[in-house]
Amino acid sequence: MSRTPNIIINCGEPSGIGLDLCVFLAFKKFPAHITVMANQEALKARAKMHGKKINFTKKQKPHTGDGSIFLIDVPYKDNVTPGSPLPRNSLTQIKMIDYAVINCINKNYDALVTLPISKEVLSTVNTKFTGHTEYISNLCDTTNKEVMLLANKKLKVALVTTHVPVSEVSNLITKIKLINVIKTLHNDLKKRFKIKNPKIIITGLNPHAGENGNFGDEELRIISPVIKNLNKKGFNLIGPIPADTAFVPKHIKEADCFLAMFHDQGLAAFKALSFGEGVNITLGLPIIRTSVDHGTAYNLVGSKEIEPTSFYQAISMAIKLSK
């Protein structure tokens, strides 16, 4: 009989829909022990906005969806205002991330599921905070080794660069960087997703993948040589493919994963095809971390328009990867 995974969930920015999703979670069954990090009073108030009441259990048990939550009650400096983030609560959010990651590293939890935070707000207390993924990687002592992967049942898209200005992307794409990203992606597709020889389609950086250097030479200088070199070592890489034709149905059917050069190049296509159904997975870490594919959505707080599918998929993926 397999062991029940132990999952910790960070509610994220409390003024966003993270608390709403935690309310919905109380009534959704999952085959796992689930611990939620959030403020109890704020969670009660958010539940009331949805006409629901949550029970807080004192002992952890399998998550049956009976309206109860096993909670780590987190204090905030200011009362939570739905839809309006308060910078004074930012330090608490960072401490929550620290706690969850450290306890995953120490094997107290099998996986971490994170809900949306506000990079703008958190950067007010930590000017070096560029994103959830990068911060968690730093805590895991794997800085610059992390790879962002968005996945659903039909499509996986990874990124070479993440939260950086487009003007800096070209300089960041070096042979060493690209090799490291491809190796991490290849290894984790094998290890985490049990794909024996993953077929990865790699986009070019420039329009038409540079068209033999007419629209940029990164493909000729960097991307193509790396692909050829790694394929000689047994990798299964295709590319560089022009980004505007990479995500056509034929390629989606054939590929195990896509690798895009920068954030919007890959995620615009992914979210157009599956927004609200995707999972954000951080590869290259010693822990399992999944997240939703959307932001804080302040305008939806307390409403009936909140769609929890991505959150549920993130939990299911964390459970799957924990086994």
Q: What confidence tens digit (pLDDT) does each residue in 134-191 have?
A: 889 999 998 778 999 999 988 999 999 998 899 999 999 999 999 999 999 999 999 9
Shared-domain flag, residues 88 and 123: yes
Instruction: Say if residue 1's pLDDT is above 50.
Output: no
HSE-CB of 133 using CA atoms within 13 angstroms? 23
Shared-domain flag, residues 132 and 222: no
CATH number of the domain residue 265 falls in: 3.40.718.10
Higher pLDDT, 286 or 119: 286
Range of the domain at 209: 147-283
Shared-domain flag, residues 57 and 46: yes
Query: CB atoms < 10 A from the CB of 46, how many?
Result: 26
Shared-domain flag, residues 130 and 205: no
pLDDT of residue 127: 67
Shared-domain flag, residues 291 and 268: no
Statement: the pTM of the whole predicted model exceeds 0.85: yes
Instruction: Say if residue 80's pLDDT is above 60.
Output: yes
CA 135, CA 180: separation in Å to the nearest integer? 19
Residue 281's nearest CA partner among 244, 320, 251 is 320
Shared-domain flag, residues 29 and 62: yes
Total domains in the fold of the chain: 2
Shared-domain flag, residues 131 and 237: no
Shared-domain flag, residues 108 and 234: no
- Interval 208-223 mean pLDDT: 94
- Bridge partners of residue 241, in order along the sequence: 203
SS3 93: helix
Beta-strand runs (E) in the chain: 6-10, 33-38, 55-57, 68-73, 111-114, 147-151, 156-159, 199-203, 236-241, 257-260, 279-283, 289-292
Residue where the block lists tokens 């096993």: 70
- Mean pLDDT for the chain overall: 93
Beta-strand runs (E) in 75-213: 111-114, 147-151, 156-159, 199-203
Instruction: Say if residue 115's pLDDT is above 90.
Output: yes
- For the chain, what is the largest distance between any 2 Cα atoms, rounded to a whole number of angstroms? 65
What residue type is assigned to position 47 of the chain?
A
Residue 282's nearest CA partner among 292, 274, 267, 270 is 292
